[in-house]
Amino acid sequence: MYPRPFQYHRAGSLKEATKIMSQLGEGAKLLAGGQSLIPLMKLRFANPQHLVDLNFVPRTSYIKKKGEALHFGALTRHAEIEKSAAAAKIPIIHDCAAGIADVQVRNRGTIGGSLAEADPSGDWATVLLSLSTEVRCLGPAGERTVQLPDFIKDAYTTALSHDELVSEVIVKLPAKGSGGAYVAFKRAAPVYPTASAAVQLAMDGDVCKEAAILLGCVGLMPVRVREAEAALQGKEIDEKAMEAAMEAARAAADPQPDMRGSADYKRTLVGGLVKRAIDVARRRARGEKVEVSHIYA
């Protein structure tokens, strides 16, 4: 079905896009990869009067290592991140980029758009919250930096004001001896995951120094499970510690029953995903090459 009619605006720069958004007011929306917005418009769940297209803005798609951080341009497509050697320095980022939806969607969808949409079933927020991530937000008055935990406010709600946009995503490289993994389960490639788990560990030999454990799709926002992290920190990761982390993850999950599964099913699933992710993360911390990504039939 056709979306409702709208006026189209093609921004020449990100700054210009914020100015247009400011002039047009609440009836305007930004168009990045469009892989969520366009389907919503076709279903007429979203009916913007104006679209401000960011896709013609030059130099918004890049992955650069600057000092001890990776900088992602807001319109960097998932597919570019999937293929990037620089991004592969943080394996959990590759896990995510390589498994989002399917080839066609990864060729269009962007990291900035995904964060700005803050869909509770989106992948990027869950993964990037397990790392130290900053979001550069550009508005007509200038740019500000927001830590990712302060950026995601609620389901579909971020710290961005109407005339602000994500200009860059900055991810700190994890310390040496770290390992991370993202495991998401979905029923088929093109759909959102049923549940997902992001685990980032800093190891000292067999002992876990620091852990970040996030659950996706089982709450209005990614769920950080401090109890699961505490179950690993300062300990050797043995079967008992892993069980405790799984148990904590199941308890912290707050899934909604829907067509992807019942709440009980999702709770059980997310525990299993956490276990897998911990296992891969600690093996990667030891320097093993392990391939994981989204799991689907």
Partner 1 sequence: MPETVLKAKRLKKKSAADGAIEKWPITVSVNGKSCSLAVEPRMLLVEMLREALDLTGTHVGCDTTYCGACTVLLNGAAVKSCTMFAVQADGAEITTVEGLEKDGALHPIQKAFGDSYGLQCGYCTPGFMLSSVQLLSENQEPSEKDIRKAIAGNTCRCTGYQNIFKAIQAAARGMKGA
- DSSP bridge pairs for 169: 72, 135
Q: What is the per-residue binding string for partner 1 in 48-87, x denoting contact by CB under 8 A? A: -xxx-x-xx----------------------x--------
Alpha carbon separation from 251 to 112, 219, 241, 255 (Å, rounded): 31, 12, 15, 11
4-12, 142-150, 231-239, 253-261 -> range binding partner 1 (CB under 8 A): 4-12
| Residue whose tokens read 């401000």 | 52
Please state the φ and ψ torsions of residue 171, each to the nearest 5 degrees.
-120, 125
Task: Out of 46, 69, 105, 290, point to the residue binding partner 1 (CB under 8 A).
Answer: 105
Q: Which of residues 11-30 bind partner 1 (CB under 8 A)?
A: 24-27
Please tell me whether residue 259 binds partner 1 under the rule CB under 8 A.
no
Name the residue nearer to partner 1 (CB basis): 107 or 268. 107
Please tell me whether residue 205 binds partner 1 under the rule CB under 8 A.
no
Name the residue nearer to partner 1 (CB basis): 122 or 174. 122
In the complex, the smallest distance separating the C-beta of residue 20 from partner 1, rounded to whole angstroms, is 12
Name the residue nearer to partner 1 (CB basis): 101 or 223. 101
In the complex, the smallest distance separating the C-beta of residue 286 from partner 1, rounded to whole angstroms, is 24
CA atoms within 13 A on the CB side of 104: 5
In the complex, the smallest distance separating the C-beta of residue 295 from partner 1, rounded to whole angstroms, is 12
- Both tokens of 272, joined, read 């299993």
Q: 3-class secondary structure for 138-195?
A: EECCEEEEEEHHHHEEECCEECCCCCCEEEEEEEECCCCCEEEEEEEECCCCCCCCCE
Please tell me whether residue 1 binds partner 1 under the rule CB under 8 A.
yes
Please write down the long-range contacts of 95-100, taking CB distance under 8 Å and 24 or more positions apart: 95/127, 95/181, 95/182, 95/183, 95/292, 95/293, 96/123, 96/124, 96/127, 96/182, 96/198, 96/293, 98/293, 99/123, 99/182, 99/184, 99/293, 99/294, 100/294
Name the residue nearer to partner 1 (CB basis): 162 or 172. 162
In the complex, the smallest distance separating the C-beta of residue 40 from partner 1, rounded to whole angstroms, is 10
46-54, 149-157, 218-226, 279-287 -> range binding partner 1 (CB under 8 A): 46-54
Question: How many Å apart are CA 180 and CA 99, to the nearest integer?
Answer: 15
Please tell me whether residue 34 binds partner 1 under the rule CB under 8 A.
yes
In the complex, the smallest distance separating the C-beta of residue 258 from partner 1, rounded to whole angstroms, is 17
Report which of 233, 217, 215, 235 is spatially closest to residue 225, judged by C-alpha positions: 215
Please tell me whether residue 4 binds partner 1 under the rule CB under 8 A.
yes
**Which residues contact partner 1 (rule: CB under 8 A)?**
1-8, 24-27, 31, 34-35, 38-39, 42-43, 49-51, 53, 55-56, 79, 101-105, 107-108, 188-191, 296
